[in-house]
Every structure is written in C-alpha cells, then in structure tokens.
Amino acid sequence: MNYQWYPGHMTKARRMMQEDIKLIDLVIELLDARVPFSSRNPDIDKMGRDKARLILLNKSDLADEKSNEAWVAFFEAKGYCVRKINSRSGAGLKSINAAVLEACHEKIERDKRKGIKNRPVRAMVVGIPNVGKSTFINAYAGKACAKTGNKPGVTKGKQWIRLNKGLELLDTPGILWPKFEDQSVGMRLAMIGSIKDEILNTDELALNLIRFLMEHYPGRLTERYGCEETAQEALTVYEEIARRRGCIKKGQELDYTKTGMLLLDDFRSGKIGRITLELPKGETEEQ
C-alpha cells in the first residue's frame, strides 16, 4: 500500500516554521531512535541550514543499544551535536544543558565579541508527529508546560516556553513531508505509530514487521509468543500468534486485524524487546 498522510494543518505549520525559524538560534530535532533516518524531515535541514543543530535520539530505550551508538557516531561525523534520551523516564535529560551550550558555542562566542551578555538561547523544538516532542519539553522543563498525547497531531499551535534565564524553547506542531519518495520510509513510520492507524492496512504492516523480525531479530517472536519461526512463512507465524493469543472471531475464524494491532502495540511498547528498524548506511546494507 502507499503510505501518505499530510493533513491541512501541517501545511500551515510548515509556513509558520519558515517564519519562526528566523527568530531562533538553535534547532533541537527529536528523532525516534528506532528509525532515525525515516523520522527525519528533510524540510528541517533546508529551513535550519544556517542554525546551530542538536539532534536528540528519543525513545532510545526502545532501540537496541548497539544501533543507538552507530547512529550517534553517524550524526556526529556529520557535525551535529547528538544525545540519546528517553523523555518518559528522564534518561539523558541532564545532558541537554551542556549539549545546548556545545551546539551554540559559536553563537555565544559571537555575542561576547559584540558585547552582548546573558541573552538567552532561543531554540525551536521540531520533530514528526508522535516522536515525543511535548513529553520531552514537559520533562526537560520539569512541569507540564506543553500539551501531550499518545496520538500523532496533538500539538496544533506554537508555544514559547522559558525554561531558565539562558534558554527559551519554541514548541511546534510535528510535520511530515507531503510525499514519501521511498515507501519503506512510510512503512517504518507507520510501524512506530507516526501515521494514524485508522488509515493503514494493519494486516500488511504486521506481516512486514514479522518478516523484518524473523530476518534481523530471530527468536524474538518465539520468545514473546511461543510460535515457531524456523523455516516458517510470515503468514504462518501471524496465524500462530493469532491462535496463541486467542484472536478468534465467531466460527473459529482468525481475527487478523486484532492480531496485527496486538503485534504492533507490543512492538511500539518494547514488549518484543529493543528493536531498531534501520541502520546508517555504511554500517550495513539499508534494511
């Protein structure tokens, strides 16, 4: 299936960001650590090319650690300041202040030469829907200062948030790009929940996830569901999971939709283990 989702409010948000980015010093970009490439919006690089950059690999607790380190090295090699965080638990958040100073070192030194002292760094927090921006801001600020939700598209308008005398944050709605040139990018975003489940073919998505896990994380499905993976087709494994989890309709018919949502929910919550869906090019062939 084709993965497309570009509601009208995202077009408005993009125009708003183009104006607001003129006001800020630093772009803080949240990526999902399970899909750092797929969860990057190429528009951000274009709009923020003259700004200091800080990349936060959020939900790093859900991605496998070896892959996390590979992505940190990848982005650092490109000149970005990078940190691994988990906004929900607060892991890694204590390193953000130092990271902001590191990313904005040139700006701060430039201000000093001009005799400008104690001007706060103004940062824009950006990221695609459901990447955890509002949860990050709330956790970083230590209070519920941005509305949060577990569905994409909760943040609709911009908010300036003063964290301390040295830093102000501009929250922005999550935006996707109008067209996925690579449909595998759309598929990965659908797997992590950045595209609304209501418009997806859950069966196809779940089958693709099963195929990926059997190839790259063998044994995880057996460990979680007790199903046989060896020499099995993805559909056979899918059906076995349905039986073992009691996803049965009247007449003993398998409930594929219920099984698919169960599988996706287990993946998204980390119940199948720490899984990364893609690695930097050069580390391995793109998955």
Q: Same topology for domains 8-171 and 201-268, yes or no? A: no
CA atoms within a 13 Å half-sphere pointing along the CA-CB vector of 58: 28
| Tens-binned pLDDT, residue by residue, of the chain (287 aa) | 555 555 555 667 677 778 888 889 999 999 999 999 999 887 788 888 889 999 999 999 999 999 999 999 999 999 999 999 999 999 999 999 999 999 999 988 888 899 988 788 999 888 887 888 889 988 888 765 655 555 555 555 567 788 877 888 887 666 656 556 778 888 898 999 888 777 678 999 999 999 999 999 999 999 999 999 988 899 999 999 999 999 999 888 999 999 999 999 999 999 999 999 999 985 543 44
CATH number 3.40.50.300 is the correct assignment for the domain at 201-268: no
Specify the residue for token string 């970083």.
140
- Write the CA distances from 108 to 23, 49, 69, 90, 101, integer angstroms: 16, 18, 29, 27, 8
Q: pTM for the whole thing?
A: 0.86
Q: Please write the tens of the pLDDT for every residue from 126-168.
A: 888 788 888 998 888 876 565 555 555 555 556 778 887 788 8
Closest CA to 123 of 75, 31, 51: 51
> Distance between CA atoms of 24 and 16, rounded to whole angstroms?
13
Q: Which fold has domain 8-171?
A: Rossmann fold (3.40.50)
3-state helix, strand, coil in the chain (%, to 5): 45, 15, 40
- Write the CA distances from 284 to 71, 216, 256, 287, integer angstroms: 12, 12, 33, 8
> Distance between CA atoms of 110 and 98, rounded to whole angstroms?
18
Which residues are within 8 A (CB) of 281 and not within 5 positions of it... i.e. 6 or more apart? none
Give the start-to-end residue ranges of the domains of the chain: 8-171, 201-268
Per DSSP, the three-state class of 254 is strand
Dig out the tokens for 59 from the structure. 């939900």
